[in-house]
């Protein structure tokens, strides 16, 4: 099927399309994958030749239907393995991403379907991200990031946009966990920082942190 590098690009492009709109630039991909723009150009040509992306020189790329399907398979594998690591092997949510980056490239449809069944077909991974089923379908998980909320509004913390161990360890340190009710107390106009409140404590977070916390049932 696809090489590891190809799978990583599919996943990255899929995620970037969702975050930043449907035409993804070379530099954006390069920065998210810690590679150089020239390397990205090379790979985009290859993906284009395989009909996985629509690519026009200098115009950015987006996934084709085939590419989207490929991306969803990789994402399904990644999130199921993360769920396995947390639920069955007792890893913490901040420890699983890098291991799942490796496990997601293991090739076997049967394996991943059996893993899905073993985990009782989870709908969300340990970071609150929806897990595509065997057909690539996910539940829709409508959330609002804190940076889009108004003063006085509140919701339930159900997901993160960044699941790097660095960010998650920061959240651990600040005693913020999935399921917490969070209320926006104040927004500092000077630097865009947020004063927020949980049931147990108050704290200040920067705008870039606020940009990565997803809340549900925001009112």
Q: Determine, following the binding rule CB under 7 A, whether residue 212 of this chain makes contact with DNA.
A: no
- Which of 5, 119, 156, 178 lies at the binding interface for DNA (CB under 7 A)? 5
- The smaller minimum CB distance to its own copies, of residues 52 and 103, is found at 103
- Which of 52, 115, 196, 214 lies at the binding interface for its own copies (CB under 8 A)? 115
CB 180 to DNA: min, Å = 37
Size of the site for DNA (CB under 7 A): 27
Backbone angles phi, psi at 120, to 5 degrees: 65, 40
- The smaller minimum CB distance to its own copies, of residues 49 and 111, is found at 111
Residues that bind DNA (CB under 7 A): 3-6, 8, 25-28, 34-46, 55, 57-60
Q: Give contact residues for its own copies (rule: CB under 8 A).
A: 85, 88-91, 95, 98-99, 102-103, 105-108, 110-111, 114-115, 118
């Amino acid at each position: 099927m696809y090489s590891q590098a190809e799978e990583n690009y599919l996943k990255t492009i899929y995620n970037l399309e969702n975050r930043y709109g449907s035409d993804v630039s070379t530099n954006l991909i390069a920065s998210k994958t810690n590679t150089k723009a020239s390397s990205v150009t090379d790979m985009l040509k290859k993906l284009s030749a395989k009909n996985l992306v629509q690519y026009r020189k200098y115009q950015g790329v987006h996934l084709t239907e085939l590419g989207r399907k490929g991306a969803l398979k990789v994402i399904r594998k990644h999130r199921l393995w993360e769920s396995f690591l947390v639920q069955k092997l007792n890893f913490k949510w901040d420890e699983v991403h890098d291991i799942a980056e490796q496990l997601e490239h293991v090739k076997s449809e049967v394996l991943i379907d059996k893993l899905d069944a073993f985990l009782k077909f989870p709908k969300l991974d340990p970071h609150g991200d929806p897990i595509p089923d065997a057909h690539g379908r996910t539940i829709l998980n409508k959330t609002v990031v804190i940076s889009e909320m108004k003063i006085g509004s509140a919701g339930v913390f159900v997901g993160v946009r960044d699941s790097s161990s660095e960010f998650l360890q920061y959240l651990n340190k600040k005693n913020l966990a999935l399921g917490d009710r969070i209320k926006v107390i104040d927004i500092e106009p000077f630097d865009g920082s947020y004063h927020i409140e949980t049931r147990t404590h108050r704290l200040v977070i920067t705008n870039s942190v606020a940009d990565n916390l997803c809340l549900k049932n925001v009112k």
